[in-house]
Amino acid sequence: MKILVGVKRVVDYNVRVQVKPDGSGVALDGVKMSVNPFDEIAVEEALRLREAGKATEVVVVSIGPVAAQEQLRTALAMGADRAILVESAEACQSLTVARVFAKLVEKEQAGLVILGKQAIDDDAGQTPQMLAALLGCAQASYASKVEINGNSMRVTQEVDAGLQTIDVDLPAVISADLRLNEPRYVKLPDIMKAKKKPMDTLSLADLGVEPAAALKVVKTEAPAARGGGRKVASAEELVKELKNKGLL
């Protein structure tokens, strides 16, 4: 079985993003870019399934600018077999990305797709569910445990009430949550090896994908700042303050 894994190039999770003063977006010049953390977990899970003999090939896919090759190389260094960059200078939103993956699933005859549950830039959290809808297959979202048994899969999902377990038939789309695994560290020799692994570049047109209707971002602004607080000297003072505010 072949597994497709999504790898999105996003602002590194340690960066505190700044909104541009003219409201046209966030400042990205010179900002560190990384693999979306949830996608790194998705890659790791796919590698573990291959290492356990449940999959034969792990293909990592990014949809974005040429620079996303860097993130695909990281995924190849982790151990993915090959990469596909679907190049688009314009940022693609969830439904378009889902259409691209749907085409690639068909083209590659993939049996499983693992995506991060959300990207930490737009925080939309939609692509896995949309892809499953387009494929007419099962979705197992917010996965914290995955077991493949023949043609079906048992997945534990992190839901608001706790942990929910479902069985889904393959092919299926999994979205990876934080506690699914801890991604491996990449070693220097693996980075060298990754440079020789195959990477194809395609366009939306090559795949016959029309960009879907999208959300037009008309303004970006910083959130309302919380008024600066102060420190109190003792537990007594804290309790007094909270009682004055009617909170205790």
Site for another protein in 76-105 (CB under 8 A): 93-95, 98
Q: Return the residue of 29, 30, 32, 226 that touches another protein, per CB under 8 A.
A: 226
- Binding mask 177-206 toward another protein (x if CB under 8 A, else -) reads xxx---------------------------
| CB 83 within 8 Å of CB 59 | yes
- Check binding of 22 to another protein (CB under 8 A): no
Closest CA to 83 of 107, 54, 62: 62
Contact between 106 and another protein per CB under 8 A: no
Total residues at interface with another protein (CB under 8 A): 83
Q: How far apart are CA 124 and CA 139, in angstroms?
A: 17
Which CB atom, from 39 or from 158, has the smaller least distance to another protein? Answer: 158
Interatomic CA distance for residues 136 and 174, integer angstroms:
14
CB of 110 to another protein, least distance (A): 16
**Which parts of 125-184 interact with another protein (CB under 8 A)?**
125-134, 136-142, 144, 154, 157-169, 172, 177-179
Cα separation, 186 vs 183, in Å, equals 9
Cβ neighbours for 136, distance < 8 A, ≥ 6 positions apart = none
